[in-house]
Amino acid sequence: MTKKCIYCGAEISSECVIDFCDKCGKNVWGEKMFNAIVQNMEHARENGDLCHNTNFVRNTNISEDSRGERIDF
């Protein structure tokens, strides 16, 4: 299975820890920063710290009062 680069749409491996191709990554951040990003993302995946769950929902403490106004806790 492949996925597509978020910048140019080129196909990239589904195993890739980033959502953009090497060419676009280097054009956006430069080669040195791009390599650091990839290395850190791969390290995070190895440690189980990388979460690419599209069904992830952030739990917030927001509610509404009886008038429908937002209350932040």
**Coil/strand/helix, residue 63:** strand
Instruction: Output the pLDDT for position 49.
Output: 82
d(CA 50, CA 17): 9
The closest alpha carbon to 52, from 9, 12, 15, belongs to 15
Q: Which tens digit of pLDDT belongs to each residue from 50-73?
A: 765 544 445 555 555 566 665 555
Q: pTM of the entire structure?
A: 0.62
Per the CB < 8 A criterion, the answer to whether 54 and 44 are in contact is no
| CA distances in angstroms from 66 to 16, 60, 70, 71, 73, listed in the order given | 48, 19, 10, 10, 16
